């Protein structure tokens, strides 16, 4: 009789293994369909990341309430997994009862001491109760729709929660009835047992029910529990819960830069630029989509989303995955691309026929709500609208908060922009052409004559690199396009020159030899133009003699420090706020204590200084030393800083959709009661100054660069 029982269990387990393994194979093939992306070999650091992020739940626990819930899920899953194994082994060995033996149960293992078994039983009961409570709360939060980042409601996420809840409700049916039967047979006393805190309560509660009825309930409990468990295993690789299996590998294969760099293009070999088919994204970007937990933390911090633009980073990842899984799988499995494949005829044909990832030529969408169906769920599922692609400021707020280290959204968006700009020559904001032309012809996006690039330094007696001969200067001062051509930014450069001279720093500028680093072109998808500018600048810089570079623009700073490495430019680079902090600390620069200018200052962290380069303290340390200054922080500061709206080339685009990001940030700064907003970026300066002008007719609040605040006090 029990032979049949065990045979059915065996068949179910074998089916589950086959069904799950097939789905996992498909996921691996889908990830491998992506384009190559080399990784550094740092296996020790990678393994450490997995330990800290997966088992330590470091990022997850940054959000206290959600982190606590997830902690229960993870450790519940791991600890209760020992019990699931027991359940399966029990079913498989039940047939031994036909021969007078006990089926497998841990408590029948003679070498395990009773205390150990009790602790094991307690861990199962206790964790199962915790998971049931956490799941009930999570379902309540999702169903009542009050948590914005969990919207739109996800059927997938709710199905998973019902499955987890079902798993542990059936656990208590099975173990509670079994505990009652153990009491009936005298194996356990009729009382509450600390090691079965819930199950013994259930057993006591059903006292009086006939043993035969409880036996039937016990059998039903077993099959239900086993069924939900095996069903869950089959569902995982087909659902968002694939992150259970993909998060670990994704963290292991992480990028070690704080934000992933856009990939350079080999223009001599490539015929197609950018991405409009999902399989043209890198394999790591595709792995990211399977690791996504759909927790929505990224949406909750995305400045584009929060100002009602049609962009949700979670949706971008979801769409890439849906496009890959359901729209493109038939094309992918025909050629099963492997790393290193060249674009041969078959692959090109498949790419041409496969469904588009980036949607174009549709009516404009104007708000987040336009992306969501009336009954929840996304419209345009599996494809990304052109307005989503151009709404991103590449601020990396989504990267900073992701608990599974997903960093591909801004770089994938740049890849899709490249396709619009370089392949289609349409579907991008036309005002970008002015900036592109300016960079191409005059070396700056405003198109100011290249011969005027050092006009700001007239009468300041600023040394030029060209006049240095064999002298190796201590600092090459990279001025940047805004600093050289924008009237407001020129004042920052002039203030900085005063500081450098006072501190007797050996420095020189490039003057008319300097050109735009190309950062706006790269972020706006014109990699061809960026490539040209980067190569010219690196070639010119490599001929100069200097020890270090500093830049006043965080975008230039980031280019010189990180992205020029791909073009042979390896330099020691500082941001001017770092240099000023260092000069003050080394006492090369002293402040005049008599210049007590009373100001209450809040510092706005530029994204490319803060999140991209993890520099939060240098400007704050300087502010603390300034006579007459008190400081205050915005709610969103440092890692949580809110973009000014200018990054990702958005500085050069009109803001037609949603609310203006710079006004949102200005409001956040004004809410602190500060009299001055300080920053360290010419783009942030423009956006916040415009914000203050919009909000206050009489400009009671000033916006100043750290260099200006220091120069006023020397």
User: What is d(CA 522, CA 188) in angstroms, rounded to the nearest whole number?
Assistant: 71
Question: What minimum distance in Å lies between the beta carbon of 39 and ligand SF4?
Answer: 20
Question: What minimum distance in Å lies between the beta carbon of 427 and ligand SF4?
Answer: 18
Find all residues with CB under 8 Å of 16, minimum gap 6, and list them. Answer: 230, 233, 234
Nearest alpha-carbon partner for 409 in 179, 539, 255: 255
Stretch in the footprint of ligand SF4 (CB under 6 A) among 128-136, 400-408, 558-566, 700-708: 400-408
- Among 320, 404, 484, 669, contact with ligand SF4 (rule: CB under 6 A): 404
- Among 242, 406, 479, 663, contact with ligand SF4 (rule: CB under 6 A): 406
- Among 303, 443, 445, 619, contact with ligand SF4 (rule: CB under 6 A): 303
Specify the residue, 331 or 418, whose C-beta has the smaller distance to ligand SF4: 418
User: What is d(CA 575, CA 585) in angstroms, rounded to the nearest whole number?
Assistant: 16
Stretch in the footprint of ligand SF4 (CB under 6 A) among 41-49, 173-181, 182-190, 390-398: 390-398
Burial grade of 316 (CB within 10 A; 0-12, 13-18, 19 or more): buried
* Strands of the 473-478 sheet, one edge to the other: 507-509, 473-478, 546-551, 573-575
Find all residues with CB under 8 Å of 38, minimum gap 6, and list them. Answer: none
CA distances, 289 to each of 34, 38, 317, 501, 698 (Å): 12, 18, 5, 51, 48
**Site for ligand SF4 contains 670 (CB under 6 A):** no
Nearest alpha-carbon partner for 34 in 344, 256, 332, 354: 332
Question: What minimum distance in Å lies between the beta carbon of 567 and ligand SF4?
Answer: 24
Count of Cβ atoms closer than 10 Å to residue 124 Cβ: 25
Stretch in the footprint of ligand SF4 (CB under 6 A) among 129-137, 209-217, 307-315, 553-561: 307-315
Specify the residue, 88 or 389, whose C-beta has the smaller distance to ligand SF4: 389
Kindly report each contact of residues 188-192 with a partner whose C-beta sits within 8 Å and lies 24 or more positions away, as own/partner.
none
**Site for ligand SF4 contains 242 (CB under 6 A):** no
Question: What minimum distance in Å lies between the beta carbon of 326 and ligand SF4?
Answer: 19
**Site for ligand SF4 contains 398 (CB under 6 A):** yes
Find all residues with CB under 8 Å of 264, minimum gap 6, and list them. Answer: 527, 531, 566, 567
- Among 397, 533, 581, 674, contact with ligand SF4 (rule: CB under 6 A): 397
Specify the residue, 314 or 665, whose C-beta has the smaller distance to ligand SF4: 314
Question: What minimum distance in Å lies between the beta carbon of 402 and ligand SF4?
Answer: 3
Query: What is the phi/psi pair of residue 581, to 5°?
Result: -60, -40
Q: Cα-atom radius of gyration of the chain, to the nearest Å?
A: 31
Number of residues engaging ligand SF4 in binding (CB under 6 A)? 28
- Among 230, 251, 332, 395, contact with ligand SF4 (rule: CB under 6 A): 395
- Among 127, 214, 226, 298, contact with ligand SF4 (rule: CB under 6 A): 298
Specify the residue, 226 or 295, whose C-beta has the smaller distance to ligand SF4: 295
Nearest alpha-carbon partner for 560 in 497, 493, 479, 635: 479
**Site for ligand SF4 contains 393 (CB under 6 A):** yes
Question: What minimum distance in Å lies between the beta carbon of 309 and ligand SF4?
Answer: 9
**Site for ligand SF4 contains 296 (CB under 6 A):** yes
Burial grade of 78 (CB within 10 A; 0-12, 13-18, 19 or more): exposed
Find all residues with CB under 8 Å of 683, minimum gap 6, and list them. Answer: 482, 553, 555, 606, 644, 646, 647, 651
Specify the residue, 311 or 584, whose C-beta has the smaller distance to ligand SF4: 311
- Among 221, 262, 313, 480, contact with ligand SF4 (rule: CB under 6 A): 313
Beta strand pairing call for 358-359 and 546-551: unpaired
**Site for ligand SF4 contains 309 (CB under 6 A):** no
Question: What minimum distance in Å lies between the beta carbon of 380 and ligand SF4?
Answer: 17
Pattern 350-389, binding to ligand SF4, x per CB under 6 A? ----------------------------------------
CB of 550 within 8 A of CB of 533? no
DSSP, collapsed to helix, strand or coil, labels residue 158 as: helix
Specify the residue, 377 or 628, whose C-beta has the smaller distance to ligand SF4: 377
**Site for ligand SF4 contains 641 (CB under 6 A):** no
CB of 648 within 8 A of CB of 523? yes
Using CB under 6 A as the criterion, which residues of the chain lie in contact with ligand SF4 when the complex forms? 292-298, 302-304, 311, 313-314, 317, 392-398, 401-404, 406, 409-410
């Amino acid at each position: 009789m029990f032979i049949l029982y065990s045979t059915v269990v065996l068949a179910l387990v074998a089916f589950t293994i086959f069904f799950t393994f097939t789905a996992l194979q498909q996921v691996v093939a889908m990830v491998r369909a992506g384009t190559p992306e080399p990784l550094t070999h740092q296996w020790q650091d990678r393994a450490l990341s997995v330990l800290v992020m997966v088992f330590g739940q470091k990022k997850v626990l940054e959000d206290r309430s959600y982190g606590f819930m997830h902690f229960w899920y993870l450790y519940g899953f791991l600890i209760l997994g020992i019990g699931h194994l027991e359940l399966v082994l029990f079913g498989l060995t039940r047939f031994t009862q036909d021969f007078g033996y006990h089926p497998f149960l841990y408590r029948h293992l003679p070498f395990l001491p009773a205390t150990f078994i009790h602790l094991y039983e307690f861990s199962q009961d206790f964790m199962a109760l915790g998971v049931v409570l956490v799941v009930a709360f999570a379902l309540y939060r999702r169903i009542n729709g009050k948590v914005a980042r969990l919207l739109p409601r996800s059927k997938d996420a709710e199905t998973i929660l019902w499955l987890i809840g079902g798993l542990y409700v059936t656990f208590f049916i099975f173990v509670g009835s079994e505990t009652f039967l153990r009491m009936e047979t005298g194996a356990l006393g009729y009382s509450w047992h600390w090691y079965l805190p819930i199950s013994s309560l259930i057993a006591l509660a059903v006292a009086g029910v006939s043993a035969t009825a409880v036996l039937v309930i016990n059998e039903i409990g077993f099959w239900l529990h086993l069924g939900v468990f095996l069903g869950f295993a089959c569902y995982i690789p087909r659902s968002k819960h694939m992150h259970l299996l993909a998060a670990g590998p994704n963290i292991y294969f992480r990028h070690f830069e704080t934000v992933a760099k856009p990939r350079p293009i080999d223009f001599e070999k490539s015929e197609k630029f950018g991405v409009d088919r999902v399989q043209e994204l890198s394999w790591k970007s595709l792995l990211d989509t399977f690791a996504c937990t759909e927790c929505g933390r990224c949406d909750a911090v995305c400045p584009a989303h929060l100002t009602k633009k049609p962009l949700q980073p979670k949706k971008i990842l979801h769409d890439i995955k849906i496009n890959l899984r359901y729209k493109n799988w038939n094309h992918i499995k025909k050629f099963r691309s492997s790393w290193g494949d060249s674009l041969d005829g078959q692959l090109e044909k498949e790419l041409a026929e496969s469904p588009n990832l980036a949607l174009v030529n549709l009516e404009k969408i104007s708000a987040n709500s336009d992306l969501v169906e009336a009954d929840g769920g996304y419209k345009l599922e599996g494809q990304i609208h052109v307005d989503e692609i151009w709404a991103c400021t590449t601020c990396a707020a989504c990267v900073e908060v992701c608990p599974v280290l997903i960093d591909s959204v801004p770089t994938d968006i740049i890849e899709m922009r490249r396709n619009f700009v370089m392949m289609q020559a349409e579907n991008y904001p036309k005002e970008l052409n002015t900036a592109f032309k300016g960079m191409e012809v005059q070396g700056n996006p405003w198109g100011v004559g290249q011969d005027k690039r050092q006009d700001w330094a007239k009468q300041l007696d600023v040394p030029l690199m060209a006049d240095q001969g064999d002298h190796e200067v201590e600092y090459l001062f990279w001025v940047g396009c805004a600093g050289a051509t924008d009237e407001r930014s020129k004042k920052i450069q002039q203030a900085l020159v005063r500081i450098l001279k006072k501190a007797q720093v050996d420095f020189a500028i490039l003057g008319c030899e300097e050109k735009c680093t190309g950062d706006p072109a790269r972020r706006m998808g014109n990699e061809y133009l960026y490539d040209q500018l980067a190569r010219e600048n690196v070639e010119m810089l490599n001929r100069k003699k200097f020890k270090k570079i500093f830049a006043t623009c965080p975008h230039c700073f980031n280019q010189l420090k990180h992205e020029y490495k791909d073009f042979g430019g390896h330099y020691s680079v500082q941001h001017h706020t770092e240099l000023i902090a260092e000069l003050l600390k080394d006492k090369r620069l002293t402040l005049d204590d008599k210049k007590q200018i009373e100001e209450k200052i809040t510092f706005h962290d530029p994204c490319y200084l803060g999140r991209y380069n993890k520099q939060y303290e240098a400007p704050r340390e300087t502010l603390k030393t300034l006579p007459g200054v008190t400081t205050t922080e915005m709610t969103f500061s440092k890692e949580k800083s809110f973009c000014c709206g200018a990054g990702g080339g958005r500085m050069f685009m009109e803001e037609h959709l949603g609310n203006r990001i710079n006004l949102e940030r200005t409001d956040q700064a004004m809410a602190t009661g500060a009299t001055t907003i300080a920053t360290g970026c010419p783009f942030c300066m423009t956006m916040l100054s415009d914000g203050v002008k919009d909000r206050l007719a009489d400009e009671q609040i000033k916006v100043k660069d750290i260099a200006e605040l220091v120069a006023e006090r020397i």
